[in-house]
Structure 1
């Protein structure tokens, strides 16, 4: 074999791994948001990103644009690693510290809200790309004032509910928790920390205890806020083509998402109440229920991953073929 043929073979062999890398590194779907009680971003997306109905959602779009609502399922920090309280500054909890979602941080007493009562509650978290990990839910303190920027000190120091690997049912994580007693308008803050990646997701859900449907905390006389509604599957599908969410490798290449989990990041973090779930038995059945009709979402992929990856691989293959053909022509000329 001539030196030129060897070089061509080496080039082609070298390109093959690149094609495989392109398959593995393709963009992946985002992960989800709380739907019961409805998160701010979910409620505003359900109203319509271009023309939301409520004053609060209109203000959120005016502050951060409509794209943040199309990307409703990606309020996240890709490198949280169980240290959310250290990484996200006061006043930016609802955006997860991401300026893209700054409209969600607006201090207002008229965000669309969900009715809530003390005691047992079943929570729902829409998962567009499920992963193993834990959910920690915090409730604001009795003196919470929604007209002021939300600070970590406004939340109780420990989660009232923490559950690891809850059951995935019809594309939603479903788990129970015992909600403490409150009066008037409050907020439930959720942290979903993955155990297969440092990535974490955040939601702010505005809730109202008692008969009052609005107000700036207990005893307030502020105007009632509209009821929050979660986006339907039809609405989610309709806006999917306008989503720009990608993960760029934040742990999504882990093919063992639904294997036995590694210890949860931050499991011993005092801010998350230690490691044991409070009031919830962990579900470790490794549920792999398909989401939107496919299982790629289990590791962060979605139906768009295939075409993108195939296109990248095809381009690399075409380049390899061209290189090989050029090398053969040169070798033929030299032999002639």
Structure 2
């Protein structure tokens, strides 16, 4: 009696092992994914859109109820899914020189350009003295956070944000690694809709984050 051959099985088995080895090499060579963070209160533009619509991003009602988030999701949904990763490396403190006017809210990242678009972004109501909350998934800590408020007369519904539109308010000191960093901000003379622009210099290599949070001073 002729015994069944096992050569076909051997070939298939070798092919599977080779494929597994190739996949393992890809994982070994790929940089490890790392989570970062953002200002969650008052919410940054990308974080607000993710929080409000992440579980309902295909709802056509978004176009009417929250048109700025709608246009952002249409432009690049990854901007919202990766709300924690709006970083650039190696700026060496040259924030203004490395970030042109009109690109502040995207931190100069082309993939997040929808965040720069003027319009009726949803606002968080705050008082003249308010608390800010940085949520950092990776607990990088901070060399500092720098806070600006858009000048009186600037209209975020019709104007893109430039450095000349900002009043510098404060810079914090250094924070040790932690998932949650909160600090208080004191302002005066602001009423109505404004943009809070925040720079986070993470204590993790030379990583810089910049965001816009839309607020309404009561």
TM-score, length basis structure 1: 0.51
Distance of 2:177 and 2:189 partners within structure 1:
28
Q: Which position in structure 2 is the counterpart of 1:177? A: 185
**SS of the counterpart of 1:164?**
coil
Q: Which position in structure 2 is the counterpart of 1:34? A: 39
Q: Which runs of 4+ in 1 moved over 6 A?
A: none
> Any residues of structure 2 matched to 1:178-327 within 5 Å, and which?
178-210=186-218
**Closer, same or farther: CA 152–165 of 1 in aligned 2, 3 Å:** same
How large is the RMSD of aligned CA atoms in angstroms? 2.0
Q: Is 1:116 aligned to 2:126, yes or no?
A: yes
Q: Is 1:51 aligned to 2:58, yes or no?
A: yes
Q: 1:60 aligns with which of 52, 72, 81?
A: 72
Which protein has the bigger strand share? Answer: 2
**SS of the counterpart of 2:216?**
strand
Name which one, 1 or 2, has greater alpha-carbon Rg: 1
Q: Which position in structure 2 is the counterpart of 1:125? A: 134
- State the 1:196 CA deviation: 4.2
Whether the aligned pair in 2 keeps the contact of 1:186 and 1:207 (CA below 8 Å) is yes
- State the 1:195 CA deviation: 4.2
Distance of 1:202 and 1:181 partners within structure 2:
24
Q: Which position in structure 1 is the counterpart of 2:144? A: 134
Distance of 2:107 and 2:68 partners within structure 1:
18
- State the 1:194 CA deviation: 2.6
Structure 1: give runs of 5+ residues left out of the alignment. 1-18, 211-336
Distance of 2:108 and 2:46 partners within structure 1:
14
What CA deviation, in whole Å up to 9, does each residue of 1:195-229 have, x standing for no partner? 4422101110000012xxxxxxxxxxxxxxxxxxx
**Closer, same or farther: CA 94–127 of 1 in aligned 2, 3 Å:** same
Distance of 1:116 and 1:168 partners within structure 2:
27
Whether the aligned pair in 2 keeps the contact of 1:36 and 1:124 (CA below 8 Å) is yes
Q: 1:89 aligns with which of 95, 100, 115?
A: 100
